[in-house]
Amino acid sequence: MSEQIQPAEHRPVAVTVLGLGHMGSALARAFLANRHTVTVWNRSAAKAEPLVHAGAQQAKSVQDAAAASDVIVVCVVDYAVSNSLLDSRAVLEKLRGKTVVQLTSGTPQRAREAEAWARRQEISYLDGAIISYPSGVGTPECMILYAGPEEVFEAHRKLLGSLGGNAVFLGERIGSASALDLSLLTFGFAANMGFLHGAALCEAEGISVDSYLEAANALMAIIAGDSLKAAKMISKSNYAGHEASLEVCASAFGNILRFSDEAGVHRAGSELLVSLVKGAIASGYGGHEFPAVFEVLCKKKNLKTN
């Protein structure tokens, strides 16, 4: 006799979302889409209206919002605002024994301070970082990083999975989610800025942005390979290679600066790169490959040669 597979039982969880900006609203929508019992609060109350239409309960105060659920997800502009909302006697009374999941962006130090505060108040605390735009929240690809006590993450893994299929637990070092978030933002913004700078140079010579994009797409694979190579070199603190020396890169940067000047394009972005490359050359890495700039960024001087 064939066994019938039962669909996994759905257990709705009561969850509160504090902060209904672009991201907080997306988080609340994702919880609702997964049929959880959602309470929302926002300073500007009108932003709750579409969510109430979609089935959320609107709390009149942060205190009521904290009382409504055992899990409180915070997503406001910064930690200072989050602290101002949570750190009052009336709210703390409702939070004690519950779990706060901080999805506001911050720094590792802010996360450590928040964890210490939560421990003093007998609140379980997870610090998270959303690696997605609001439109990606709730999709299988959406990556959200979490740090904190493993048992707290495991207790809420299924609920947090509603926000994105790629919920990554980084471990108990509470600063790790924001550290990785800010590192990825550093990479992403620099890459996007590089794309814009290149687009400005193309425009100066009458090359269409579509042609530029087509060529840039081919470059993406090279950049992915460069990141892999850089990671290997960094892990060995050894930047010797046979592809392109930093001296050769410096000469390419010289051309970029000259072209920027000739074309009337801002040179600030390239100047920063030139100063880092010059710093690495001055530290003795001229014959090494581009990832040697890592040593300048880390302010290290441990030159290793083959």
Ligand X SMILES: NC(=O)c1ccc[n+]([C@@H]2O[C@H](COP(=O)([O-])OP(=O)(O)OC[C@H]3O[C@@H](n4cnc5c(N)ncnc54)[C@H](OP(=O)(O)O)[C@@H]3O)[C@@H](O)[C@H]2O)c1
Residues forming the site for ligand X (CB under 6 A): 19-24, 42-44, 47, 75-77, 81, 104-105, 130, 133-134
Q: Which two tokens stand for residue 226?
A: 């460069």
For residues 280 and 206, give the distance between their C-alpha atoms in angstroms, rounded to a whole number.
35
Q: Which is nearer to ligand X, 33 or 257 (CB)?
A: 33
* Nearest distance from C-beta of residue 275 to ligand X, angstroms: 29
Q: Which is nearer to ligand X, 67 or 145 (CB)?
A: 145
Contact 146, 127 (CB under 8 A): yes
For residues 95 and 103, give the distance between their C-alpha atoms in angstroms, rounded to a whole number.
17
> Edge-to-edge strand order for the sheet containing 57-58?
57-58, 37-41, 14-18, 71-74, 99-102, 124-131, 143-147, 166-169
Q: Which is nearer to ligand X, 19 or 291 (CB)?
A: 19
Measured in Å, how far apart are the chain's first and last C-alpha atoms?
A: 67
Q: Which is nearer to ligand X, 71 or 131 (CB)?
A: 131
Q: Which is nearer to ligand X, 30 or 256 (CB)?
A: 30
The helix-helix angle for 108-120 and 79-86 (nearest 10°) equals 10
* Nearest distance from C-beta of residue 129 to ligand X, angstroms: 7
| CB-based closest residue to ligand X | 21
